[in-house]
Amino acid sequence: MQRRLLFIFLLLTSLFLLLGCEQRQASVDDTADTDLAISQQPAPNQQQTQLVEAPVFENYVDLGDMPALKERGVLRLLAPRGPQEGSLPRIGLPMSEWRELAEKFAHSRGLQPQWVYVDNFAQLIPALIEGRGDVIASNFSRTQERKAVVSFTRPLQFVSELLVTRRDNGLQPVPNRPLQVAVRRGSAFAETLIHSEDAQNYKVTYLDGPVEHEELLTAVAEGRYQATVIDSNQVNAFLPAYPQLTSSSKLNSERAIAWAVRRDSVALRRELNEFFTAELVLASQKREQALRDWQEILESGTLRVLTRNHPASYFIWRGELMGFDYDLLKKFARDHKLRLSMIVPDPDMDLADALQAGMGDMIAASLTITKGRRQQGLVFSRPVMAVKELLVAGPQGASENNNLTLEELLAGQIVAVNPQTSYHDSLVKLLQKQHAQELLPLQIKRIEGVTTEFLIDSVASGAFPYTVVDSHLVAIESTYRNDFRVVGELPGDRDIAWAVRAKQPVLLEHLNTFLEKHNRDLFFNVTYNKYFKEQKRILKHQGQRLRSTDVLSPFDPIVQKYTQNTDRDWRMVVAQMYQESQFNPQARSFAGAQGLMQVLPRTARQLGIGNLYDPENGIRAGVSYLDWLDDRFPQNLPLDQKIYFTLASYNAGHGHVRDARNLAQRLELDPNQWFGHVEEAMLLLSQPEYYRSSRFGYVRGREPVNYVREIRDRYIGYLGVERNQYYMDTQ
């Protein structure tokens, strides 16, 4: 029997190897004389049909923008293929990261990613322009020649182009004998060589077809070519395998790596830029960090709080961050001279998991104290408030006065809940009581990651007959809507509290001291009433609470108009606009700044813009000034940090930010990182011992530090609403 199995295994292995060889040979033969070779799987024979179940992608021609892509449900991602058709990029190379990023973007827009391969870089742009792909998603350099025919996204990174030769050949040019440099046809390297100051010293040899870096480097190592060119972001992945080769920055070239779309794919380019900016800004929040207690939090100067976009805990109203937990913790942070950073994980991520991973220092999200959460490792503060769990139905739901017990009322009924909430545990206990009473059991409809609002909406629309809601949330929701009703109450009171990890005793002590000190005092009562008692204020805040990012301000179309041809995310500009003027186009500062973006008239005149009180002029001036400031910083600055340095310059002036970067370097901080580094140096520039030795002198450093943080936090708030909105839409 074992021999028979071994024979079958060897037979199948041989068959797979044979098929692989046939595919590779077909790939080489088919690419001999083609102008645009889009990779397609060869027609399967009878044996292959039995082994290959996935349908072959049949490409098509489509020149549409985002609406057309969403109608088809597919995003075609163009990339050059290697010797093996459609082969996966090697781990550790930029293409691996680009592949993951491209597929993540497609999924975030509800599209199915489909890779379409061409033979070489020269065929990428023709394939895009002819409509055989939608995005060039590769290690693609943004050059002037390419910008003339396609539209590029914001840079993903900046790289240097390095000349690679044998160590024993050297790089000194020989008179009348130019260095022979082999490059792939269509790559940006040839453009660099041709336009370099030493162009006469190079003879470019173009290689056609699928050519990988290993082939070029091997050819140089063996002496078949004298040199080749490689991007700096690929050097560490390749050169260690070639000890006889060396690289040099002799070309003195730096390029932006970006993706490309057709010039009329305006919406697709904008959504790619939005996605890239969001990924950059959120990356630091998603990164697992050290598990900190009080001393480490004090040293960092920032308290990181995990929460949810939630009517009781944390939300955005007209661009302003609000919420019961948020207001309490803002005072707690201020009392201890800490900055407050609210972190909203993805809806399907459990807050306890996020806390244990180090994404935050504590949780404040209207969490009910439960045995299950304690078993997850959460340690709770003293209660913040006590609530009841209420059974909610649609407007035509069962009456409260039907004299049925809760167990009888829910016999055989469906109750929809998020299994991550305490409601689920309460329903399980109710189910056990029904079983003991020999009643028809209720059915728990578990919906992962959804909000209480989503469940109330579902009950109100008739999608489910019942859900469970905490009493303080019912108080908020019933203030501005009347499409649901309370039909029962689950037994017992529930305590809501903040949560920390087991090894944070000092943080827990400080939180408990704060809650005990303010237990029902004036500050607590005013804050509590603001969110749960005062109907006018609740109606004002909750009725206009941001639930969707479809409209962030009355001026979104104008912002989108003036950012669509830039690398800027329009949502970041809206977040900044609120910081500047609270969306008031007639705003004027004590220093004379005017309009929505609070630009000084003399700055606007230099940009050729007048009447800043006109919303279009004010926004155009603000975006233009941001672009001007952005150009003042070196290209090699990390792209996410460049956003923060530009914002700080908008508030305090480019000169003061440059002083802060220089001071950060003197203090052995990182001059290329804003948070925790340059912002700390900026704070010191209000002290004589530091500003007297700086070029631009005194600056109220607290203002730009708070300015950048508040805009960043508002922008992240927008992203949280958007992620939540998308998640609910897909349920």
Q: Which long-range contacts (CB under 8 A, 24 or more apart) does 201-207 make?
A: 201/173, 202/178, 203/178, 203/179, 205/180, 205/181, 207/182, 207/183
Q: Which residues, 6 or more positions from 23, have their beta carbon under 8 angstroms from its beta carbon?
A: 41, 42, 84, 85
Helix H or strand E encompassing 488: strand 485-500
**Please, what is the angle between helix 570-581 and helix 266-286, to 10°?**
70
Q: Yes or no: say if 554 and 583 are a contact pair by the CB < 8 Å rule.
A: yes
| Amino acid present at 364 | A
Q: Yes or no: say if 186 and 213 are a contact pair by the CB < 8 Å rule.
A: no
- Paired strand residues for 306: 343, 363
Helix (H, G, I), strand (E, B) or coil at 681: helix
Per residue in 614-627, is it b (16+ CB within 10 Å) or e — as a string?
Answer: ebbbbbbbbbbbbb
Nearest to 335 by CA among 292, 383, 303, 367: 303
Helix (H, G, I), strand (E, B) or coil at 445: strand
Please state the separation of Cα 258 from the chain's center in Å. 17
Active-site hit among 580, 679, 680, 722: 580
CA angle 486, 492, 496 (to 5 degrees): 85
Q: Yes or no: say if 600 and 578 are a contact pair by the CB < 8 Å rule.
A: no
Cβ of 411: how many Cβ atoms within 10 Å? Answer: 15
Cβ of 343: how many Cβ atoms within 10 Å? Answer: 21
Nearest to 124 by CA among 62, 186, 184: 186
Task: Give the helix ranges, DSSP H, for 266-420.
Answer: 266-286, 294-300, 324-335, 351-356, 371-375, 406-409
Q: Yes or no: say if 79 and 117 are a contact pair by the CB < 8 Å rule.
A: yes
Cβ of 355: how many Cβ atoms within 10 Å? Answer: 24
Structural tokens at position 184 = 């792939």
The question of whether 215 is a catalytic residue gets the answer no
Task: Give the helix ranges, DSSP H, for 549-693.
Answer: 556-563, 570-581, 601-606, 615-630, 639-652, 654-666, 679-684, 688-691
CA–CA gap between residue 255 and residue 243 (Å, rounded): 26
Strand pairing category for 260-261 and 202-207: unpaired
Phi, psi (degrees; rounded to nearest 5) at 547:
-110, -15
Structural tokens at position 537 = 């204020």
Residue 307 per-residue DSSP state: -
CA–CA gap between residue 728 and residue 276 (Å, rounded): 22
CA–CA gap between residue 28 and residue 215 (Å, rounded): 15
Q: Yes or no: say if 618 and 595 are a contact pair by the CB < 8 Å rule.
A: yes
Helix (H, G, I), strand (E, B) or coil at 467: strand
Place of tokens 């027609």: 43
CA–CA gap between residue 567 and residue 276 (Å, rounded): 10
Active-site residues, by number, are 580
